Structure 1
């Protein structure tokens, strides 16, 4: 029997991955992390969606992340940058977040006899975070295998998909409305279509607008 553990936040990408996992594996569990994020109501959203999906969800605290480096997602004195800087990652980068999430998820997975880890990171249409790159994921996969002497496989179903293609996948999985109206991607903690002004909302909306155009026309191919 195939089992998978999804790193889950209740956002567009991880929710799409959650239902992708349900279509690929016999048993699916999810794990979420409280890392001191200002939009921590995402954890309530994650719990609600996991319950709807009939997927067990475990939530663990990693509050130390917000104490180790300054970023706009954990530091209330920093405003989220409206646009991505040209010469560096945006100030919403939480250093080491994906590495730590996947490492803790791997520890939990081994304890449960699960070898498949799933994360919603993507490199094709992303916010400039270095820990979303395919090269990093492949490197971490090898490191986890060596460090724990366990054969993990990290799945990244969204790695090369644009945001419009992520919307398309959600639609194909039958969860378009759930992803659109019940997930929380917004850095300001607004569910659904979000605040409309933070970078996460803009990226999400651009992809949605592109996908809705082809959805209305019935054209199966994205530009």
Structure 2
């Protein structure tokens, strides 16, 4: 059912992409603090583990998301990434100077497209995503110019935009260091022990401590001057 024109003005609503990791949890906390009714969305896309999806449920509950959806898709049928192809090992030798093999082709484009569809249906004018262009793994779909391009496309692609209800892609973390993200999240009550960032966490949600995501997370807590609450397997 499509929303009526008035539904866009009844309540300030947002779609929040929630992976279950540190960044997306912080984004949900920010959107909640800004007074949005948050509809969270996670993706079971064929990634290496489900621990992050379990974490997303915990975080959505903590911040009282209005709805939480887990979208089913099969990106491992495409492969091309260590996160979706079990035959490709997750690198643990330190951060790469090129786009790493953990990059999932077109992932953010797919995720944002699903969020755009839900935004139109529930009457949300804002989509929040935790992309970052400072302390990140070099993914091309985390850059400001990509987000700007997607937003332009989004406002050409929907009935809502045609009727004057244009969507905004909100990226509150894009110019923050990992330490700054953590400090902001702590101030907003994020329990980072509930989050899972590791690319190859085990079934209990324990992090490997060696992949790019774990290394960036460790560095962030260290630079923020805070104890790292992450449960590590080793």
Query: Normalising by structure 2, what TM-score?
Result: 0.85
Distance 1:142 1:193 in 2: 39
Distance 2:99 2:105 in 1: 10
**Maintained 8 Å contact 2:132/2:175:** yes
Distance 2:176 2:117 in 1: 28
Deviation at 1:187, TM superposition (A): 0.7
Distance 1:126 1:148 in 2: 31
| 1:167 match | 182
1:107-128 per-residue CA deviation (whole Å, 9 max, x = no partner) reads 0110111110000001011100
| 1:31 match | 41
The verdict on how the C-alpha distance between 1:192 and 1:172 changes in structure 2, with shifts beyond 3 A counting, is farther
| 1:220 match | none
DSSP 3-state at the match of 2:14: strand
Bigger mean CA deviation after superposition, 136-145 or 146-155 = 146-155
Q: Quick check: 1:158 aligned with 2:168?
A: no
The verdict on how the C-alpha distance between 1:192 and 1:24 changes in structure 2, with shifts beyond 3 A counting, is farther
| 2:147 match | 137
Q: Can you give the 5+ residue segments of structure 1 that lack an aligned partner in the other structure?
A: 214-223
**Maintained 8 Å contact 1:163/1:203:** yes
Query: Normalising by structure 1, what TM-score?
Result: 0.89
Distance 2:206 2:73 in 1: 27
Q: Can you give the 5+ residue segments of structure 2 that lack an aligned partner in the other structure?
A: 1-10, 227-234
| 1:85 match | 96
**Maintained 8 Å contact 1:98/1:131:** yes
1:167-223 per-residue CA deviation (whole Å, 9 max, x = no partner) reads 111122122xx11x110000112577822111100001001101016xxxxxxxxxx
Bigger mean CA deviation after superposition, 197-206 or 186-195 = 186-195
Aligned residues: CA RMSD: 1.7
Alignment: residue pair count: 209
Q: Quick check: 1:189 aligned with 2:201?
A: yes
